Amino acid sequence: MRGVSRRDCPDAPAPVLEGTEAWYRPGGAALAALCAREDGREVVLVTAVGRDAAADDLAALLEGRVTLVGLPLMERTPTKTRVQANGRTVARMDEGCDGVEETASGADVARALAGASAVLVADYGHGLTRQSAVREALAECADRVPLVWDPHPRGAAPLRGARLVTPNAAEAQVAEDEGERALNRAGELAGVWGTHSVAVTLGAHGAAWADGAGARALVPGEPVDAPEDTCGAGDAFAAACATALADGANVRDAVRHGVGSASAFVARGGAAAHTRPRPGTPAPRAAAAPATAPAPRVAADAGTAAGGRAGRVVATGGCFDVLHAGHVDLLRRARALGDHLVVLLNSDSSVRALKGPGRPVVGEHDRARVLSALDCVDEVVVFGEETPAHALEELRPDVWVKGGDYDVEELPETPVVRRAGGEVVTVPLVPGHSTTGLITRIRGRGRDNVPVR
């Protein structure tokens, strides 16, 4: 549930939400299944569901992407509802998370797993993996195909003979920055569980992998600037390891592939990239796009920008003369507020009018190309006026995002956006990042380094 908050409750330190909207995404094992099918392979999700509308919502969210074998073993399908104010989670409500209430049919599970080239067990502690019929079916699979087990503190012990188990650092009882200790712990756990190998995921630090024979490797993480949402990174890692093993990779290479895939998953927005306004509607572009997706279209003017967009449209704008970390943070925060981010970019003449004859340093065509290369940007519109008012009239975004401590009521864009039914949101900028200051420092260094002839 998302909304905009401009004030707190008078009787409690809690935000007052306005304009709330419900958004949906598959969670738990369903998110892992979506991660596994991102390269187009066929994926079957076998899971316990309830006899309720949430089970129907899950089926609608997965339709056309993942084959759902929903075992009606629960009264209610587990759901977790996050309440967000201005993009920040302020509360979470869990329902139906008490566990599986009925016994699964081993024949049904075995039938669903038949023909698999690899199996990923994404255990979320609801009890299905504790059932003997399910474990027997999984053991049969482990004899013929790679089995990857992503454990949970409340879940069952991983199956002996699993090719790879993927606990996170907390589950392995190590810190994310303790690489050597994590390597030792991975080897210990492989022996305790009787599995071929264990990879302890270490967040931004990568993963520590060891097998039962003494081989081990510390796989460093790939840096992601200002990640918006790391939720689901473990699912992305385990799913990528399983698909790599299905393709014939050895376990160490599969772990390397998993680390890279998890980093790419976070860079694309994490689990939030799989969010939809309601079950059954088209997914956002970033949800299905691979890491090598082509750059978004660069529009020449506002009139050509409005076509072809879907879902909740967010817009932001500026000169973006020399792109820096503050810009990237703003753009990612803006993209997290909807499904489609349009950047309204000041043209060269517009920048000169605002900043003086020495600007821009980078021309509008190159600035647009750099912005378009960012995964969080769906579209770039170049406008020639000093303010984007005309462009906003044409675009009619659902949300207009402005960086900094501006008063929303004083912004010239506010009445234009509100007349079209949109809302205006400000987000704080990363301190210490100023384009003008950066350019001044660069030019100063250039003068200091002029050679004497």
Residues marked as catalytic: 235
Q: Quick one: 240 exposed, middle or buried, by C-beta within 10 A (0-12, 13-18, 19+)?
A: buried
- What's the gap between Cα 257 and its chain centre? 17
Q: Crossing angle for the helix pair 106-113 and 132-142, nearest 10 degrees?
A: 30
> Token digits for 271?
């689990």
Give the C-alpha separation, 236 to 328, whole Å. 23
The whole-angstrom separation of Cα 148 and Cα 245 is 9
Rounded CA-CA distance 6/3 in Å is: 10
* Sheet with 15-21, side-by-side order of all strands: 15-21, 2-8, 79-85, 88-95
List 342's β-bridge partners, or say none: 315, 379
Nearest residue to 62 (alpha-carbon basis) of 36, 93, 88, 87: 36
Tell me if 373 sits within 8 A of 295, measured CB to CB. yes
List the one residue out of 28, 207, 243 whose CA is nearest residue 122: 28
In a 13 Å sphere around the CA of 114, the CA atoms on its Cβ side amount to 7
Query: Alpha helix locations (H) across 314-452?
Result: 325-335, 348-355, 364-372, 389-395, 413-419, 435-448
* Amino acid making up residue 273: A
Assess whether the previous peptide bond of 360 is cis (omega < 30° from 0): yes
Look at residue 175 and give its three-state secondary structure.
Answer: coil
Helix and strand element counts for the chain (H, E): 16, 18
d(CA 173, CA 5): 38
- Cα–Cα distance, 238 to 258 (Å, whole number): 7
